[in-house]
Amino acid sequence: MNVKTIFENMTYGPAPESAQNAEQWIESHQKKFQLFIGGQWHKPSSKKYLQSVNPATEERLARIAWGGKKDVDHAVKAAKKALPGWSGLSGHQRARYLYAIARQFQKNSRLFAVLESLDNGKTIRETRDIDIPLVTRHFYYHAGWAQLQDKELADFQEVGVVGQIIPWNFPLMMLAWKIAPAIAMGNTVVLKPAELTSLTALLFAEICQQAGLPKGVVNIVTGAGDTGALLVDHPLVNKVAFTGSTRVGRIIRTNIAGSGKKVSLELGGKSPFMVFDDADLDSVVEGVVDAIWFNQGQVCCAGSRLLVQESVAKKLYKKIRARMEKLRVGSSLDKSVDIGAIVSPMQLNTIETLVKKGVEEGGTLWQPSWACPSDGFFYPPSLFTDVSPSSTIAQVEIFGPVLVAMTFRTHQEAVKLANNTRYGLAASIWTENINLALDIAPKVKAGSVWINCTNVFDAASGFGGYRESGFGREGGKEGLYEYLKPKLKLSDKPVKRAVSRRVAKSNGSLKIDRTAKMYIGGKQARPDGGYSLPVLNPGGVQIGEVGDGNRKDIRNAVEAAHSGAKWRNMSGHARAQVIYYLAENLEARKEEFIQRLVNMNGLTPAESQLEVELSIDRLFTYAAYADKYDGLVHNTLFRNVTLAMPEAIGVMALVCPQEFPLLGFISTVIPLIAMGNTVVVVPSEVAPLCATDFYQVMDTSDVPAGTINIVTGNQQALSEVLSSHFDVDGMWYFGTSDGSKVVEDAAAENMKRTWVNYGKFRDWRDSKQGCGEEFLRQATQIKNIWIPYGA
Amino acid sequence: MAVKSKSSTKSPALGSHDGQRNPGMLLDLDLIEGISINRSAVERRASTMGKRRSVKKEWQAAWLLKAVTCIDLTTLAGDDTASNVARLCAKAQQPVRQDLLEALGMSDTAITVGAVCVYHNLIRTAKEALKGTNIPIAAVSTGFPAAQNTQAQKLNEIRSSVRAGAREIDIVVSRGKVLNGDWKGLYHEVQAFREACGEAHMKTILATGELSTLTNVAKASQVCMMAGADFIKTSTGKESVNAVMPVGITMVRAIRDYYQLTGFKVGFKPAGGIRKAKEALEWLILIKEELGDEWLGPHLFRFGASSLLGDIERQLEHFVTGSYSAAYRHPMS
């Protein structure tokens, strides 16, 4: 086109970024890539290769090795071999390597950006301005944590060999989010990139070589889903970190249930984008662009559900449509393109199918008047209005540039709609009223809440989900714990305690106690089934009876726990007052509890006294923590306050340790409630009477109804019900090894957070094993709230 | 030497479309009070404005020529005299070297700047120098830059500038009225200015660098348009912060809202601190993206600039020759 014509019609022209260097790099490998294991390139034992395609042109880019069983085994063993050397380095020495990697990223930033665009189809603007800078930042940030580890995280150690599986939507960024914290904390890794987008991971492998990273610290095994499954299942893997679909996350969790492998899952989402009537609507429109037309909408935390206050909906839709008309779809390497290519024909097909379904179900579809390029896999930005929460497209993650809009009338309804989803990854709140914004933010179930912004990330802030969006955080100090474990030596056998030689051999001197009822919703409750279980002392003499709880008792207890709103809304200080009161009243009945332990467990009076006194001590500890375990304000990149708030998980199920009938109960129930959870607790099955005695303490200590609900009975049976209960948000289990597996397996369905003991025993008297921040961390999840400011 | 004017394009009517000037409307205070601008979000948009679009090669040359036609070539200095204003007017008529225009295939298109902008005292000089051309003279007015004189003095100043031959009047608003939320006062002030302008077109300078918040910028923009502004303009060039992208975004969005409300297109003039060709492209991208192609011409868009032209000339020569240019190769103003 000549200058004159352009002068007259003022169009945009092509603005291509050169692919030359990236193509040369691919060429220099003869368009064929091997596996990076133990610092060297190895051909796959399977001799098979996958084809990598440029989704914007459908051009074949390279062939990628398909790792098989032998290869995965080789890589895991290489990581295992490298582990002692790597974790043995000082934090400072590891920091130097991470720093060197970050420098390499900086020096090769454009090559990475172009290669990522070629391989994934995302626009060069995004890889250049968002992905690669975040990758570099992640390594710098975690170089810092490696440096500080010895000082700041002295009670923790590395987990070991980590198997990491990442998705195709942010290939390099997800690599950085996985590898940087893992190796910073002294772990070694085997990473499996997504089969569609492995190239930047392979370039990263070369960077590791250039940075002189010790062999085997990072291993890259490319391949398909079966390669990932082999990695997850490998017995030498100590931790699995996965980002991807909820479906696959569930399979992974089920497969490793009970194995003792640590796991973090970052899964799908259907994040609400909430617009209140006083929002700056033009800014909202750009927010929508960043929310759902970022990375073609292939973003797990995409703001894909637009919830608009009814009074401004029409106006906003009009503005959004006008903006959509101006979006440009096209070649990923064109610098004037907003939306690049969909990663694969399969994904394109998924999007098309769901959009079709949306239309069939009565949604009104709007797409811009212009057409997408015909070569390559493209899909236009799309807006659905007239959608109800029951529509498929309002529930299912589309993972494409498709926005689904609904309206709300009141703030309460907005929150209800926002939380009417199985997911809980992110939320965006748009209002000019800070009171409203900060009212809504804690009410939305999501790991990241963005106020008047969206899809902003930084290494200093933890990212991760609630509910079926998975668990664990990536980034921030909170993210480090995913790659650490406490330096504790837990025993395979119960702790030896001082037992009295004179255990009552008959109940002649003991009168049979009343049958202890359950405690549900602040009231004593008879067991639904109408059965009782005998409680025997170590001599086999019946000293009492408790209700034999069944699934209906659990159902009732969970409902009661959900109605315990009073407790959840109390301030930390107010909760502390109640917990101190519990301590006070336990102190008043100290002799009675000592006697109970002597009679029920046959402990010496001195050992019994110690257990009761430590229980009081622990109540004090968690009362103290109730208003002190608070969050952080993260130091993120742009002008905003990023609040990392520990929030109660919600309704927690708890299966107490069998031993330590009082101290085990107190040491697990109290940290949970101190953080604002309500609990359904199954006390020690063999020695439940301390727990049932305790409700009399609760009754006199102003504990609101529904805060602590006690169901006695068979721990195994009850934990099965609890772990598969969809309305239980999290579960702690201190029982058997088999029981741990059952819990983890069942919890995979609704992705509840679990903390199980794999049959190991704690000495609950020990202040490190029986008490501390680990309990509080497990009782909470971190929500990051981003609050930009400026007038 | 005065350059002969070209006969081809007629200078378009300023701030109008289809011959219709913005007549203004009744002050709608509810609308004004409802405006709230989120600075962080606007800044985020601003930071990507020049990164989401890139204009290269022929497109860049054409866009830069378009930018030239939108320049209000300006001198507003205490030491302005007839000689430098005459030079400015000469440059206004031939802003780009003829050989470059030929190489660009644009020799048959009249490329002049949008207007020449001067203080009142120099209107007559400029009028003389621009005789026979269609290039309008814009005069800054109403106690430019601080607006700290009486309303009567301001109105007199406008009238005498119009009488002297200014076809465009760049008025400055009373910042105090904005800062105190005296929207009624601002409305009446600007309405009176508009009346005093008569046939001359009115550009309303908000001096955004002194308005404290983007919300104030948006509210003041809206009030001025309601009062009948043909253009709204960011700055006098004398404030410490002048034409910056977040302010530009806020103002063009106000123009869009006003257009949707009334059907009248108001023009936009960023002024002060725009010195680089690359910045000019970013402003044009802003206009194309937020307002649309109809605004991409001197009738609805102007740059208030003095040194921008020099950089554009150098970039154009680079496009034509492939070699980086130097300032001395282009005639000065």
Burial class (CB in 10 A: 0-12, 13-18, 19+), A361: middle
Q: Which residue of B has its CA nearest to A282?
A: B253
pLDDT of residue A509: 52
Is residue A636 less than 8 Å (CB to CB) from chain B? no
pTM of the predicted model as reported, rounded to 2 decimal places = 0.95
Q: Is the pLDDT of residue A484 over 90?
A: yes
Q: CB A790 to CB B289 under 8 A? A: no
Q: CB B38 to CB A14 under 8 A? A: no
Residue percentage of chain A with pLDDT more than 70: 98
Mean pLDDT of A705-724: 97
Per-residue pLDDT reduced to its tens digit, B85-133: 999 999 999 999 999 999 999 999 989 999 999 999 999 999 999 999 9
Per-residue pLDDT reduced to its tens digit, A511-551: 655 789 999 999 999 999 999 999 999 989 999 999 999 99
CA-to-CA distance for A385 and A368, rounded, in angstroms? Answer: 14
Give B7's pLDDT tier (boundaries 50, 70, 90). very low
Nearest by CB to A790, from B40, B62, B104: name it: B40
Distance (Å) from the alpha carbon of A317 to chain B's nearest alpha carbon: 14
| Parallel, antiparallel or unpaired: strands A156-158 and A188-192 | unpaired
Q: Is the pLDDT of residue A448 over 60?
A: yes
Nearest by CB to A791, from B39, B109, B253: name it: B39
In chain B, the domains with their CATH numbers are 29-329 (3.20.20.70)
pLDDT of residue A565: 85
Per-residue pLDDT reduced to its tens digit, A197-231: 999 999 999 999 999 999 999 999 999 999 999 99
pLDDT of residue B14: 53
Mean pLDDT of A38-50: 97
Q: Which amino acid does the sequence have at B152?
A: A
Q: Is the pLDDT of residue B13 over 70?
A: no
The pLDDT mean for chain A works out to 96
Nearest by CB to B56, from A15, A453, A791: name it: A15
**Residues 450-469, chain A, touching B (beta carbon < 8 A):** 452-453
CA-to-CA distance for A223 and A191, rounded, in angstroms? Answer: 10
Give A504's pLDDT tier (boundaries 50, 70, 90). low
Phi, psi of A122 (to 5 degrees): -75, 160
Which of A8, A126, A276, A283 is the best mutation test for B, with the most CBs of B within 10 A?
A: A283
CA-to-CA distance for A91 and A174, rounded, in angstroms? Answer: 23
Is residue A9 less than 8 Å (CB to CB) from chain B? yes
pLDDT of residue A535: 93
Is residue A640 less than 8 Å (CB to CB) from chain B? yes
Q: CB B66 to CB A2 under 8 A? A: no
Catalytic site positions of A = 266, 300
**Residue A758: strand, helix, or coil:** coil
Q: CB B215 to CB A791 under 8 A? A: yes
Per-residue pLDDT reduced to its tens digit, A288-305: 999 999 999 999 999 999
pLDDT of residue B1: 38
CA-to-CA distance for A183 and A162, rounded, in angstroms? Answer: 9
Give A382's pLDDT tier (boundaries 50, 70, 90). very high
Q: CB B59 to CB A6 under 8 A? A: yes
Is residue B320 less than 8 Å (CB to CB) from chain A? no
* CA distances for A554 relative to A522, A545, A551, A561, A779, angstroms: 15, 19, 5, 10, 20
Residue B38: list chain A partners with CB under 8 A.
279-280, 283, 432, 452
Mean pLDDT of B137-157: 98
Q: CB A326 to CB B253 under 8 A? A: no
Give A510's pLDDT tier (boundaries 50, 70, 90). low
A399 and A270 Cβ atoms separated by less than 8 Å:
no
**Residues 70-129, chain B, touching A (beta carbon < 8 A):** 104-106, 109
Please give the interface size between A and B, counted as residue pairs whose CB atoms are below 8 Å apart.
103
Distance (Å) from the alpha carbon of B327 to chain A's nearest alpha carbon: 23
CA-to-CA distance for B328 and B34, rounded, in angstroms? Answer: 52
pLDDT of residue A500: 87
Q: CB B54 to CB A15 under 8 A? A: yes
Q: Is the pLDDT of residue A411 over 90?
A: yes
SS (H, E, C) A334-364: ECCCCECCCCCHHHHHHHHHHHHHHHHCCCE
Is residue B38 less than 8 Å (CB to CB) from chain A? yes
Q: Is the pLDDT of residue B9 over 60?
A: no
Q: Is the pLDDT of residue B10 over 60?
A: no
Mean pLDDT of A413-442: 98
Q: Is the pLDDT of residue B16 over 90?
A: no
Q: CB A12 to CB B57 under 8 A? A: no
pLDDT of residue B117: 98
CA-to-CA distance for A349 and A332, rounded, in angstroms? Answer: 20
Residue B212: list chain A partners with CB under 8 A.
791
Is residue B288 less than 8 Å (CB to CB) from chain A? yes
**Residue listed under structure tokens 């990932």:** A228
pLDDT of residue A511: 60
Nearest by CB to B59, from A12, A283, A791: name it: A12
Helix H or strand E encompassing A755? strand A753-756
Distance (Å) from the alpha carbon of B101 to chain A's nearest alpha carbon: 10
Q: CB A6 to CB B36 under 8 A? A: no
CA-to-CA distance for A95 and A186, rounded, in angstroms? Answer: 10
B21-33 burial by CB neighbour count: b if 16+ within 10 A, else e?
A: bbebeebeeebbe
How many helices (H) does chain A have, and how many strands (E)? 28, 33
Is residue B61 less than 8 Å (CB to CB) from chain A? yes
pLDDT of residue A1: 85
Mean pLDDT of A685-696: 95
Q: Is the pLDDT of residue B224 over 60?
A: yes
Q: Is the pLDDT of residue B3 over 90?
A: no
* CA distances for A71 relative to A31, A77, A235, B272, angstroms: 21, 10, 14, 64
Q: Is the pLDDT of residue B2 over 70?
A: no
A215: tokens are 């062999």
Nearest by CB to B58, from A2, A287, A336: name it: A2
Is residue B58 less than 8 Å (CB to CB) from chain A? yes
Residue B36: list chain A partners with CB under 8 A.
278, 280, 432
The pLDDT mean for chain B works out to 94
Distance (Å) from the alpha carbon of B153 to chain A's nearest alpha carbon: 34
Q: Is the pLDDT of residue B53 over 70?
A: yes
pLDDT of residue A304: 98
Q: Is the pLDDT of residue A406 over 70?
A: yes
pLDDT of residue B8: 38
